[in-house]
Structure formats: C-alpha cells, structure tokens
Amino acid sequence: MFKEIRVRFAPSPTGVLHIGGARTALYNWLFARHHGGKFILRMEDTDRNRSTEEAIGAIVSSLKWLGLDWDEGPEVGGAYGPYRQTERLSFYKEALKKLLEAKMAYRCYCSPEELEERRKAALRDGRSPGYDGRCKKFTEKEQKDYEKEGRKYAIRFACPKEGETVVSDIIRGDVVFQNSVLEDFILTRANGLPTYNFAAVVDDATMKITHIIRGIDHLSNTPKQILLYEALSLPLPVFAHLPMILGSDGKPLSKRHGATSVEEYKKNGYLSEAILNYLALLGWSYDEKTTMFSIEDLIEKFSLEKVSKNSAIFDNAKLQWMNGCYIRKLSVDKLTDLLIPIWVDAGFFAKSSDFGIERLKMIATLVQERIKCLTEVLELTDFFFKEEIEVAPKAADKVLKNPEALKVLEIAYEKLKTLGKFDVESVEAALRSIPAGLDIKPKFVFQPIRVAVTGKTVSPPLFETIEVLGKERTLTRLTAAIGIVK
Ligand code: GLU
C-alpha cells in the first residue's frame, strides 16, 4: 500500500528524554526497521519559551546512546528538511494562506486575558469552556478597526460543527469524535508561530509520513489534525496511539516513581540493551512467555497489531532484573570497559593502568554474577582500591568479636605469609586447612577473614578476592583486624 514506510519521532525539546518518549521513539524505530522504511527525527521547538538547545542535545544524545539512529533529522539532514520546526516557518505560512483563502481559517483578536476570563465564566455557568467563535463573524472593516487599535491576532481553524470525525487507529479501531465538541483551535499564535496541531500536520504531510505512532495522550488532538488534512486536501496517514505508561501505583509514570529519564538510567548503571528490551515490552508482546529479545529479534518480530490497548505498568524491579541478565551476558572485556569510567568517576583511580587492566578484569569477573546495575559495583569493590579500609562497626561486632576470630585470623596470617605463589588455588588450600586444628565450622573461619580483608560481611568470592588484593595488602589487613580483636 505504501511505496516506502516513513515514521517520525517528534519530541518537543523542553527537557530530557523520558521513558515514555523513549518508548515512542523505539516503537517508531522498530516499525521502520522491520519494514525497511525510514525513521525521521523532528524537533518540535515552536514553544520558544520552553524549548532549549540543551534539551535538543540531551534528546539527541539519549537516542544515540540507545542506538535508535535516524535516517533523516538533526545532524544527518535529509530530503525533506529542515527538521526543526522553527526553521520551517515558510511551510506553515503557505498552508495558512490556503486555509485563509478557502475561508477555513480566520483572524481572532481576543487577548489571552479575555479568553481566560470567558473560560472561567463559562465553567462557572456550566457552559462549554471552548472558544465561542465570535471573531469568525467579523467583517473586514471590523477587523481593520481592531488592528488600528493595535490588537494582535491569532489565526483559528474554522472547525466544522456538524458531523463526526473518525480516527481509524490500528491499535484501537475506530474512535469517533463529534465535531460539535471541537472548538475552533488556534493555528498560529499572535507571535506568528504555529501551534502543535497545525505544525505537526503540515510537517507530517510535507515529510511524507505514512504512519503516526505516538502516545494515547495525543488521541484528542487527532480529530483536529484529521480535519486539517481534509481542509488542505492532504492524504491521511495511518494512526496508532500507544497505551499509557503507569507507575506501580496505577498513576501516570512521573518523577514520583523515581528515575524516569533515559539519562538517569544510564547514570545509574543500566545497559541500553536492557532498557530497549524492557521498553519494547511496555505495551507490546510477542507471545505470553518470551521476555528476552535482542534488538535483532525485536526488529524481526515487532508489529503494531500486537501493541496492547491497555495501559502498561512500569516495574522497576523487572527492569533491574533484566539489566542483571544483560550484565551477565557481557564479555569480561566489555564489562570491564563499562565499569572503568564508573570507578574513575568515584575517584578509585585515575586511569586503568594505575591499577592494572588484568586485575580490573579479575574484579569484573568477580562481580558479574552479583550486580543488577553497573553502579552497584562501587559498594561491592571499593575495598580493592583503598590503601586502608575501615571495618564496618556492625561487622566488627558481629564477626570479629567472636571468641574464635582471633585464633582464626592469626592462623590465617601465618599460613598466607608463608605462601610462595599467591594465586587462588594456593590461597584456598591454605585457608581451607585452618579448621583442621580447631574445633569450628568453616563458616566461622571464612567470615572473620572476609571482614578483615574487605571490611564487609558480604563480598565477592573470598579466595579470588584475596588473590586480587595480593599478599602484602592481605597481610596488612589481617594485622589490622587482629589489632581490633585484641
Ligand atoms: N511534540 C509532540 C510531543 O512531544 C509530538 C506529538 C506527536 O508525535 O505528534 O508530544
């Protein structure tokens, strides 16, 4: 039916990229990649007060980090540019001219204050608060008089008041809107800039967008947009409105639910593959049971028909679990590469050669099974990088104050001191031989040693940890712990 499928992600650059926006971008991207079509990025920056260059940069960098590359848009250009609405004003002017000539649009001289006052009064009296269409009836003479007064004007669309407009939605079927409930909405504001509904239609049409995939929060805009397509004799695209994303309490996902931006997830140690996999499932599923999808799987399997009508619940614990799965799939080299900047940012070392890349890889291997987010590595490994450690008071009380602890630590010190080769096998053999002369369970042997060398009751596997720490550091820490016990 379509020569080429063309979809777009059209964020308003007023802040960072949130989970909801990222899911919209992902579904558009998957749809384009599945069909061998084009994915277009367009910045809807006509709200001059709220749009910033910084936000454009942040959105672009989050999309890049996720790997959602665009075929046309900022930085890459394309045949239907520019891809920023404030650079496309001539397109809107042209469309507006057509609508004015056809008397499908008119000048409105009402000031924002007047509109607000009337809106309040209408609500008070139980009338519909929408615009009452008074400026539509003005003669040319009346318009001139207003302009002489210095009044600025917006331009409104003359919405048909009868009949209905049907949104044929791939996900929801036909959604019918009575035209009588649609007000004469603004096309361009008094400052000459277009509103979202107008600019989006002109852009989607001139950019030859075939499918509009966006959040359900835009469904109420769609009948207005369809009427504009019709007024401008433009072919209609296909619509698909994605379900809402709710927090675990059933309320729309927001800051209250914790991290909501892609940037924050990145900072908190999430992998882009895990985020994409998780976002894909926020409203779409392939079958009842499959949860893990590589990006290639998603491209192959994604379809709009399998997007749900029902709201999706954002479950942080599930995302964390999934992130852990993706961490475990990484090669040690890749994991180490990802952990190094986290260690560096925490000030553990300045560059990897200061500590030794091989030892860093050993640490990465030790934590790989244990972390769900990359940043969890900090708490789990800090003792490797410190000259001196502090034994957590609770751990000291619970473990080191045991009557056997002193004996164990002293024997461990002697055994490890005499070791020639200090690798995991010899360390293990030495420590496992401790209980032989004592009447205690292995658990009571290894815990004091763990606390002595790591400062914690929970650590990566003990023998490997001691190997990475090395002989000198291990012995120093055992001595310090013996000091505490005595
Ligand atoms: N700029 C709109 C937004 O960020 C785009 C909506 C649409 O995709 O049409 O919500």
Whose alpha carbon is nearest atom 3 of ligand 1?
11
Closest CA to 427 of 365, 478, 370, 382: 478
Count of Cβ atoms closer than 10 Å to residue 357 Cβ: 13
Domains for the chain: give ranges and CATH numbers: 1-74+243-329 (3.40.50.620), 89-242 (3.40.50.620), 330-385 (1.10.8), 393-485 (1.10.10.350)
| pTM passes above 0.85 | yes
Predicted confidence (pLDDT) per residue in 421-477, tens digit: 999 999 999 999 988 877 787 778 899 999 999 999 999 999 999 999 999 999 999
Between CA 14 and CA 357 the distance in angstroms is 41
Q: What is the mean pLDDT of residues 248-276?
A: 92
pLDDT at residue 342, as a whole number? 97
Is residue 216 in contact with ligand 1, taking CB distance under 6 Å?
no
Residue of 3, 148, 255, 486 marked catalytic: 255
- pLDDT the model gives residue 441: 79
Whole-number Å distance, alpha carbon 200 to ligand 1 midpoint, is: 8
Question: Of 252-256, 309-313, 453-457, 472-476, where does mean pLDDT reach its minimum?
Answer: 252-256
Indicate the pLDDT class of residue 202, thresholds 50, 70 and 90: very high
Question: Does 443 qualify as catalytic in the annotation?
Answer: no
Phi and psi angles of residue 214, each rounded to the nearest 5 degrees, phi first: -155, 175
| Residue 356: pLDDT band with limits 50, 70, 90 | very high
CA of 390 to the centre of ligand 1 (A): 52
Tokens of 244: 């809402």
> Cβ neighbours of residue 385 under 8 Å, at least 6 residues apart?
343, 348, 349, 355
Mutate to test the pocket of ligand 1, among 195, 196, 222, 224 (most ligand atoms within 8 A of CB): 196
Q: Say if ligand 1 is within 6 A of residue 14 CB.
A: no
Which tens digit of pLDDT belongs to each residue from 411-426? 999 999 999 999 999 9
**What letter represents residue 303's amino acid?**
S
Question: How would residue 478 be classed by pLDDT, with cut points 50, 70 and 90?
Answer: very high
Give whole-number Cα distances, 318 to 203, 292, 296, in Å.
Answer: 38, 12, 21
Is the predicted pLDDT of residue 107 greater than 90, yes or no?
Answer: yes
Q: How far is CA 319 from CA 25, 162, 273, 281, 427, in A?
A: 18, 48, 11, 10, 38
CA distance 263 to 311: 24
